[in-house]
Amino acid sequence: MRIDVLSIFPDYLDPLGLSLIGKAREQGLLDLRVRDLRDYTHDRHRTVDDTPYGGGAGMVMKPEPWGAALDALVADGAGAVPHLVVPGPGGMPFSQAMARTLASEEWLAFACGRYEGIDERVYEDAASRMPVTVLSLGDYVLSGGEVAVLAMVEAIVRLVPGVVGNAESLVEESHEDGLLEYPVYTRPSVWRGLEVPSVLLSGDHGAIARWRQRQRLLRTAARRPDLLHASEALGSEGLEIHVATAGDAAELSTLQRACWVSEAIANASLDIPPLTESLQAVRQGLREWRTWVVRDSGRLVGSVRGRRSAQDPSTWEVSRLMVAPDLQGRGIGRALLAFAEGAAPEDARTLWLNTGRGSADNLRMYKKAGYRIGPGEGTFPGTVDLTKLRQPVRGG
């Protein structure tokens, strides 16, 4: 495989000479060349940036050096062209699946942007000659593309045949089949009083495989519920649960009002936050809680949220469990509750929720799900707190 990296800070890419990638280069599995974009400038100051048309803050990378650098790459290719990858926070998310696709290419070129990014015409010009993909490392802004290229090249190159000695170790890794990896242990079997799970010492390969698969599901439910297919998490068909986004706030606000009217009647009070809070407060809630929503043919019909208690980190709080009034009584609420419980961190010992003292239907459902009512007044006036102990789960 050949990789070219274009940057105004070639030294930033020195780590690409180390470890697995360095070895792959030594062994001839990888031909990696780092080029200084300033070598393609023609003025005394080797200028690569200029002020943006239309005004605004910051500088924009000029098109000419990029054009010249890409021309030189193409001229070097003897008829072949690279797949150009441009790291950028506005790109498609870089994923293991994408790493695998790119690992099968013969030639990749990476263009490291700086400042406010690269003049848009560079992308257009490049796309007329080669495939171009803009890829983001994650939903945050770095100062330049170099760190993103280090991460992407490492993820891609270790998938090139021959680079990682034991190819089997690649198959079981996180994200390879949509789940996170199970916890791993090595000698000694007891360390600082902490024991390795006994099943791993049993020699029973079937039991070990089952334990590992269960750990993968538990870990994925706890840390990345968005990766878990609803049927896997719930054992309930046809229910698609998604992580809520800020774009769900308006519909959530409407659903809350519809769902909590019956609670207002049951508790003879309108002073119930989900019934009265502003859209602004719903948006704030989405930032402070992990919230999930269920949609039916596009319509938002249910939701639940969870978070670690600020007062007691071993407690997982479940809240705002709601199902559209016309769809209640079909098991959606129970499925959502089970989902929110499954998303609790592995070290959570207690599940907590709160409901109106007069909310007879809710109380019945929670008791059936194994919750016990705590003594006295709940966290909010006119409510009760309910808790359920959670089975300890091994593995961090």
Indicate the burial class of 374 (C-beta count within 10 angstroms; 0-12, 13-18, 19 or more): middle
> Residues 57, 75, 141, 268: which binds ligand SAM (CB under 6 A)?
141
The residue type at 25: R
- Judged by CB under 6 A, does residue 307 bind ligand SAM? no
> Residues 107, 114, 321, 356: which binds ligand SAM (CB under 6 A)?
114
Binding mask 71-110 for ligand SAM (x = CB under 6 A): ----------------xxxx--------------------
Binding mask 183-222 for ligand SAM (x = CB under 6 A): ----------------------------------------
> Residues 21, 24, 48, 148: which binds ligand SAM (CB under 6 A)?
148
The residue type at 203: G
- Stretch in the footprint of ligand SAM (CB under 6 A) among 137-145, 168-176, 212-220, 357-365: 137-145
Q: How far apart are CA 32 and CA 159, in angstroms?
A: 15
What is the 8-class DSSP label of residue 55?
Answer: -
> Residues 113, 302, 306, 333: which binds ligand SAM (CB under 6 A)?
113
| Least distance (Å) between residue 153 CB and ligand SAM | 13
- 141 or 194: CB nearest ligand SAM: 141
- 116 or 172: CB nearest ligand SAM: 116
- 9 or 380: CB nearest ligand SAM: 9
Q: How far apart are CA 247 and CA 241, in angstroms?
A: 15
Instruction: Give the other-Cβ count within 10 Å of 214's Cβ.
Output: 13
Query: Taking CB positions, which residue lies at the least distance from ligand SAM?
Result: 113
Give the pairing of strands 60-61 and 49-50.
antiparallel
Go through 177-190 and write b for each residue having 16 or more CB atoms within 10 A of its CB, e for each that does not: eebbebbeeeeeee
- Judged by CB under 6 A, does residue 344 bind ligand SAM? no
| Least distance (Å) between residue 15 CB and ligand SAM | 17
Q: How far apart are CA 59 and CA 28, in angstroms?
A: 39
- Stretch in the footprint of ligand SAM (CB under 6 A) among 77-85, 138-146, 279-287, 382-390: 138-146
- Judged by CB under 6 A, does residue 112 bind ligand SAM? yes
Widest distance between CA atoms in the chain: 80
Of the candidates 263, 303, 268, the residue with the CA atom closest to the CA atom of residue 282: 303
Is residue 97 helix, strand or coil? helix
- Judged by CB under 6 A, does residue 117 bind ligand SAM? yes
- Judged by CB under 6 A, does residue 22 bind ligand SAM? no
- Judged by CB under 6 A, does residue 268 bind ligand SAM? no
Helices (H), the chain: 19-26, 63-76, 96-103, 120-127, 146-157, 168-171, 205-223, 230-234, 249-267, 273-276, 279-288, 332-342, 360-368
- 114 or 320: CB nearest ligand SAM: 114
> Residues 44, 56, 128, 143: which binds ligand SAM (CB under 6 A)?
143
**Half-sphere exposure in the Cβ direction for 85 (13 Å, CA):** 29
Cβ pair 286, 307 in contact under 8 A = no
Residues that bind ligand SAM in the complex, under the rule CB under 6 A = 87-90, 112-114, 116-117, 136-138, 140-145, 148
